[in-house]
Structure 1
Amino acid sequence: MPPETLPLPAPRLTPAQETSLIQAVRRAARAEILPRFRNLAAGQISQKSGPQDLVTEADTAAEALIARSVLQHFPNAVVLGEEAYAADPSLRDSAASAELAIIVDPVDGTWNFAHGVPLFGVILAATRYGRPVFGLLYDPITDDWITASEDGPAWQSEIAAPSKRLATSAGGALSALSGIAHVPLMPQDHQEAFAPVIPAFARLNSLRCSCHEYRLMAQGAVDFVLSGVLNPWDHAAGAFIATRAGGVARFLDGRDYDISVTEGYLLTAANETTWLTVRDVIAPGLSRDTT
């Protein structure tokens, strides 16, 4: 039997192409997101799965503008936006198998945004056959962004200052670790199993915004991020950036991050030792059968 034919690697993104993605996000924030912040009428906010899962006109308008810009520069790319996925779930499979996919969360932290809380962002990732190769975490309020590319470090950048190289934390003993965990999004029996381990950590938070949660991770301000809702627009960029800052991003069963995986828990940690320390404490309860 002939050996399996593997897809040839696509050319890596050039600095100019990466800059085009950053500028597309910044333009969308100025044009469609910031003018609507604290300026939304009731009819411009809708529920998706429930009252905690919102979408606003800023989400849909920003995603449309970013998608048009992306396709101008990458006409053969699959564009997977959070709001486009809601209309066509097959886009996720298309992105996972694509030579190049651009994944966009136009307003990450929509609940915060809709309630006037200035803690939201724009997330963009480029993936090659399901694996991230570029990540962008953009804060519209401060107009600064964290990025990472293949074979390079993570950087925090803004217009008026030199870019700063980022590094994850040094970790430490279990009782000294602080992290992010989306406990309310776990199945009920997993919440009950996870609750007894919470006091083992120094602190456990959730910001309702993956963009800023992963920014904290890349900046070394938290030691781990745990999530069981594996939407690629929430995690592809942030998990990738964390690894380029020195961290580790794997599912609890040991697999590396890939957007094709739809079930399980993604644990991103400051380093290998921290990943293993957290995994060993949380995995027994989160591995229980939920059926």
Structure 2
Amino acid sequence: MTTEIDIAALAALLQEAANAEILPRFRNLGAGDIRAKSEAIDLVTEADEAAERLIKARMETILPGALFVGEESTAADPSLLQKLGEADLAVIVDPIDGTYNYAAGMPLFGVMASVVAKGQTVAGIIYDPLGNDWVIAEKGSGAWMCKPDGSQEKLAVSPAPALEDMVGCASTGFYPPETRALIMGKMAQVRVAASYRCAAHEYRTLAAGFLHFLMYQKLMPWDHLAGCLIAEEAGAYVARFDGAPYRPTDLAGGLLVASDRQAWTELREKVFVA
């Protein structure tokens, strides 16, 4: 088994899956092509499943022997999450992040992939099919916007302003109603607290310097591994609510991402405390 990563080949594969399976179905899904999973707002489409099948089929040539952990594959085989913690090398894929937006015909969705080696995230990619560009990070090499013409731009988070001027995204939908009400009240202390319903674009926007924080309560590896590595490589501070580092096997404990550690601490103490 090899740990050498051909990041360009992985990026091209996400583009191939989008062009073959995702974009042709965008705003062209039939009633039977959309199904609810755990609840009415947790959707899967024919495009999610077809794109993941294509990526999985091609992955062996890019990362031979790597464990494949896809969101839809894990829905069929939950034991993949346990295997992730034991694997020497794994690739984690979200074929469409922002499926609810995609199914509604809203142009805010992405394709995400990350590579984990011996329990550490070493590469992450977030591809925007509509913009046809990638945000890519390899551990220790910075975060980069890669454009379709081949040009690249290094990304950096924006310095954090005062709390009352901060702009960010927060996902509160998985809290119990009473906790959600409490936290949403505290979010009035920041200038803007939105939700794109698409972690892919939230991480991209923060890494490009247009958001100061992100908050998530539900942790699934395909939603956050790529984005967290990209955010860290762009200079952000990333930790679970208790201050512990975020690891590929973490499925609970909340997640807070901020421009720097001081902003993280202020947000945790004043806003995202239940």
Report TM bin, short chain: over 0.9
2:175: which partner in 1? 186
Q: Distance in 2 between matches of 1:248 and 1:144?
A: 25
3-state DSSP of counterpart to 1:254: coil
Does 1:22 find its partner at 2:18? Answer: no
2:62: which partner in 1? 73
1:217: which partner in 2? 206
Taking structure 1 as reference, are residues 11 and 273 closer, same or farther at Cα in structure 2, changes over 3 Å only?
A: farther
Aligned-pair CA distance for 1:161: 4.9
Structure 1: 5+ residue stretches without partners: 1-9, 286-291
Does 1:263 find its partner at 2:252? Answer: yes
Q: Distance in 1 between matches of 2:267 and 2:18?
A: 36
Q: Distance in 1 between matches of 2:73 and 2:162?
A: 42
2:269: which partner in 1? 280
Q: 2:88 aligns with which of 99, 103, 108?
A: 99
Aligned-pair CA distance for 1:195: 2.4
CA contact (8 A) 1:131 1:257 kept: no
Q: Distance in 1 between matches of 2:22 and 2:98?
A: 12
2:40: which partner in 1? 51
Q: Distance in 1 between matches of 2:120 and 2:182?
A: 31
> How does the TM-score come out when normalised to structure 1?
0.91
Does 1:13 find its partner at 2:27? Answer: no
CA contact (8 A) 2:160 2:212 kept: yes
Does 1:117 find its partner at 2:119? Answer: no
Give the root-mean-square deviation of aligned CA atoms. 1.3
Aligned-pair CA distance for 1:271: 1.2
CA contact (8 A) 1:95 1:129 kept: no
CA contact (8 A) 1:228 1:265 kept: yes
Matched residue type, 2:147: E
Structure 2: 5+ residue stretches without partners: none
CA contact (8 A) 1:146 1:157 kept: yes
Aligned-pair CA distance for 1:62: 0.2
Q: Distance in 2 between matches of 1:70 and 1:137?
A: 16
Higher alpha-carbon Rg = 1
3-state DSSP of counterpart to 2:271: helix
Aligned-pair CA distance for 1:178: 1.0
Once the two structures are superposed, residues 199-254 of structure 1 have per-residue CA deviations (whole angstroms, 9 ceiling, x without a partner) of: 10010000111100100110111101100110110000001100000001110111
1:4: which partner in 2? none
CA contact (8 A) 1:46 1:56 kept: yes
Q: 2:162 aligns with which of 160, 173, 177?
A: 173
Percent identity, aligned pairs only, is 39
Once the two structures are superposed, residues 2-59 of structure 1 have per-residue CA deviations (whole angstroms, 9 ceiling, x without a partner) of: xxxxxxxx97534xx1111111101000000000001111011111012101101100
Q: Distance in 2 between matches of 1:105 and 1:259?
A: 14
Aligned-pair CA distance for 1:283: 4.6
Q: Distance in 1 between matches of 2:26 and 2:122?
A: 31
Does 1:60 find its partner at 2:34? Answer: no
3-state DSSP of counterpart to 2:145: strand
Query: Segments of 4+ in structure 1 off by > 2 A?
Result: 10-14
